[in-house]
Amino acid sequence: MPQNRVFGTAPSQAGDVTCLLALWIDTPLGAMLALASHEGLHLLEFVDRRGLEREIATLQRRLRCSMVPGNNSHLERLTTELRDYFRRSMRFTVPIVMMGSEFERSVWRLLQTIPAGTTRSYAQLAKTLHRPNATRAVGRANGKNCLALVIPCHRVIRADGNLCGYGGGIWRKHWLLDHERQGLEETTQRSPRSQQMSR
């Protein structure tokens, strides 16, 4: 999506309105768009994600705000942590703002507990939430996540082990899972216990 279609306010007018700062971040999997306020990160998506313009419009409507190009401490931290993620450091500490229903937020919080290099099924997540019949609702909440990688919805797969829909594209989901598994293997090989066992 062209950058000039993202921003609703000129940078010179940013001081006159409540706004989200928008940053274009290049990654090995393509450009990502990050939106943040003083509270934290509101959105992180690949710019070719289906429905991105709709996500942005919904966010603007809920916050009654405009967006301008810019940077702040949260976006600076995110940029560093994204760079480290693609170097196989899988930890994100950037503050986030989750805007959704209580159920959606409960799903997103649960996604954050899935360790890098591992996966869960929609059914497993529903059972963990003590709502075993809510598999489809979990899937819908997963699809509404607008904080890619930071809230790792790419770690959710079908019960049969097959990959399923991902807003950034199935090829990216496959790449991210392989990337994390390789990082997990490298960490395991470097652990003191593994080194002792190999002696």
Distance CA 94, CA 118 (A): 22
Q: Which residue has the higher pLDDT, 9 or 119?
A: 119
- Mean pLDDT, the chain, rounded, equals 87
| 3-state SS assignment for residue 50 | coil
Regarding whether 8 and 68 lie in a shared domain, the answer is yes
| Per-residue confidence (pLDDT) for residue 72, from 0 to 100 | 96
Q: What is the CATH number of the domain that holds 107?
A: 1.10.10.10
Q: Does residue 92 lie in a domain region?
A: no
Distance CA 60, CA 80 (A): 26
Place of tokens 């993620």: 85
Amino acid identity for residue 103 in this structure = F
Q: Which residues does the annotation mark as catalytic? A: 153
Final residue in a domain of this structure, among 34, 57, 85: 85
Closest CA to 115 of 18, 188, 39: 188
pLDDT higher than 80, residue 15: no
| Per-residue confidence (pLDDT) for residue 193, from 0 to 100 | 53
Residue 19 backbone class (left: φ over 0; alpha: ψ -120 to 50; beta: rest): beta
Q: What is the pTM of this model?
A: 0.84
Burial of 112 (0-12, 13-18, 19+ CB in 10 A): middle
Helix ranges (DSSP H) in the chain: 52-63, 73-85, 102-111, 122-128, 135-144, 170-190, 192-197
Q: φ, ψ for residue 74 (rounded to 5)?
A: -70, -40
| Per-residue confidence (pLDDT) for residue 191, from 0 to 100 | 60
Query: What domain range includes position 11?
Result: 3-85
Q: Does residue 17 lie in a domain region?
A: yes
pLDDT digits (tens, 9 = 90+) for 129-187: 999 999 999 999 999 999 999 999 999 998 888 888 788 889 999 999 999 999 877 76
Distances (CA, A) of 115 to 30, 40, 98, 131, 198: 24, 23, 20, 22, 25
Q: Please tell me the total count of domains within the chain.
A: 2
At 7, is the pLDDT very low, low, confident or very high (cuts 50, 70, 90)? very low
At 18, is the pLDDT very low, low, confident or very high (cuts 50, 70, 90)? low
Q: Does residue 167 lie in a domain region?
A: yes
Please compute the mean of the pLDDT values over residues 34-58 and round it to a whole number: 95
